[in-house]
Amino acid sequence: MIIAIDGPSGSGKSTTAKAVAKALAYTYLDTGAMYRAVALGVLRLEIDPFNDERVAKVVNNMAVSFRGEDVFLNGDDVSKIIRYEETSKAVTPVSANPAVRELLVEKQREIAADHDIVMEGRDIGTVVFPNADYKFFLVADPDVRAMRRLKETEEDLSLEQIKADLLRRDKRDSSREYSPLKKAENAIEIDTSDLTFDEQVDKILSCIQTKEPKHGGK
C-alpha cells in the first residue's frame, strides 16, 4: 500500500505523515530530507548549487540513507543540519536539477518496493507514484505555515524572514520545469490552516481502508 502526501512546506505534511505511518504501522519516508541531504553534500563540496552540470556530476557519489527518521549523508548523521537556512536555500536549485530528481525518484521507488509506506514530498502523487493507493494534498494559509516553521526552527529568524522564504520556495517549487509542486488530479485536498494536529491525522486516517485495520499509535 502506498500513501502519498504532498504539499508545500509548513502545510503539516511531515508531522501528519509521520503520525499516519505510525498509526498504520507503515514505513515513513520524508523525500524532502533526501533533497536536503544532497543539497548539503553539494555545499560541502563547495559547488555552486545553481551549477546544474557540476551538481549532476557529483550526485551519483552521494549516499543518502535512513535509519528510522534520521537521515545520513555518506554515513554522517545530517538530520539536524539539513534543516538550517543555508541548506534550505541551496535545496531549491538542487531539487530542480533533473539529474538529482532522476536519482532520488529511483531510490524512492526502490524503498517502497517491499514496504507499505507513507511517503511525503512534492511530486509523490504526480510523478513518483501516480498510481498510489491514496493521495493527499495538504495546503495551509502562508501566515499559519510561517508560524509553524517559526516554532520548529532553532535559528534566530523572524516570522517575516520565514514567510518570505516559504513564499520564495513555493514559487520556485511550483514553477520549475521538472516535477513541479502541484496537486494530482485525484488527490484529496486538505486545508490544515484551522485544523489541530489530531484533526489532520484523523481526516487522513478516516479516508484510508487498510486490509487489516490497525488502531492507535498516534
Site residues (vs ligand DC, CB under 6 A): 9, 31-32, 35-36, 91-92, 95, 121-123, 169, 173
Q: Which is nearer to ligand DC, 9 or 200 (CB)?
A: 9
Which grid coordinates belong to 168? 520564495
Task: Kindly state the smallest distance separating residue 212's Cβ from ligand DC, in Å.
Answer: 29
Q: In whole angstroms, give the CA distance from residue 36 to residue 205.
A: 28
Q: Which is nearer to ligand DC, 25 or 133 (CB)?
A: 133
Helix (H) and strand (E) counts in the chain? 8, 8
Task: Kindly state the smallest distance separating residue 214's Cβ from ligand DC, in Å.
Answer: 26
Task: Kindly state the smallest distance separating residue 53's Cβ from ligand DC, in Å.
Answer: 19
Task: Kindly state the smallest distance separating residue 209's Cβ from ligand DC, in Å.
Answer: 25
Q: Please give the backbone phi and psi of residue 111, each rounded to the nearest 5 degrees, phi first.
A: -60, -35
Map residue 127 onto helix, strand or coil: helix
Q: In whole angstroms, give the CA distance from residue 162 to residue 102.
A: 29
Residues forming beta bridges with residue 134, ordered by sequence position = 3
Q: Which is nearer to ligand DC, 108 or 205 (CB)?
A: 108
Q: Which is nearer to ligand DC, 66 or 210 (CB)?
A: 66
